[in-house]
Amino acid sequence: MSGEFRYTVMMSVYSRVDCGELKAAVDSMLAQTLPPAEFVIVKDGPLTPELDAVIDGYCKEHPQLFKLCPLSENQGLGAAYAEGTKLCGCEYIAIMDSDDYSLPERCMTEAEYFSAHPETDIVGSSIMEFIGTPNNFVSYRKMPETHEECVKFAHSRCPSAHPSTMLKKSALLKAGGYRSCHFAEDYDLYVRMLMAGCRFYNFQKPLVYVRASENFYGRRGGIAYLKKMSRCKINFYKMGFYSLYDLIKGLAVHTAVCLMPNGVRSFIYKKLLRRNKKEISS
């Protein structure tokens, strides 16, 4: 691969992020075997003094690398990334969540795929999910691999794990960029990218470890979450991506999952939508 491959890391931080988790996330990107050309951090609303101190420390240590995008109030992930995209000076943008961990070879692996397959617009991977520390792995989320598999998968679920992705800025803007769509900013973007003709690929090897909090499954239930996801799916139907069958099936499944007890919902996510450590090692 050419040594001229350049990419921007883009990360959004808000006031509830843990300082230690933020440091681990940033450090994992600074330790990439293919280092980033720039690092854009969006401050999604006022942060705590401790978080500001952590970010300021990185800016002082790497003054030519970091770019800050401070927002006057918390606007959510979609709006934050829409603003951050404006500061990204590279064609390739590596997304990184502020509490996750990227393996050192992540960006090199994704960059090599782009170099070998220039027609591709977004590259991601399957992910490991952990609680506490990255070595406390609890589950594995397998993503569809080929573009055709991603298209099929997207008619029911999000086709790429957002914190694992590297994408072309030109493709992102072609699809309309990030926009506010609470709980589904990534899914909303990927459907619009697919409809714009963008091509997807996901490595089956996990390149990112994603933090799964103890209340992960609880947040995916309730009337408020159901309403937001229902609006998202109805919008996919209006856009012409979902068929009527896709819409009815999606609404039925989400209604059932959101209204069931947390224990049952947790079982479904862990046993049906994830693979555990024993299954992976076997």
The predicted structure's pLDDT at residue 215: 59
Q: How far apart are CA 123 and CA 165, in angstroms?
A: 5
End residue of a domain, out of 183, 211, 239 = 211
Closest CA to 107 of 163, 42, 185, 169: 163
Residue 282: per-residue pLDDT: 40
Residue 2 inside a domain? The answer is no
The candidate with the shortest Cα–Cα distance to 71, out of 9, 8, 15, is 15
Domain closes at, from 194, 211, 228? 211
**CA-CA distance, 249 to 150, in Å (whole number)?**
18
Give the number of C-alpha atoms closer than 13 A to the C-alpha of residue 179, restricted to the C-beta side. 11
Residues of the chain with pLDDT under 50: 279, 281-282
Structural domain harbouring 185 = 7-211
Residue % of the chain over a pLDDT of 90: 77
Answer yes or no: do 47 and 101 share one domain. yes
- 193 in the same domain as 71: yes
Residue 226: what pLDDT? 82
pLDDT at 253: 84
Domain edge (last residue) among 211, 232, 250: 211
Q: What is the pTM of this model?
A: 0.90
Predicted local confidence at residue 281, as pLDDT: 45
How many domains does the chain contain in total?
Answer: 2
Tell me which residue of 196, 7, 27 sits closest to 115, measured CA to CA.
Answer: 7
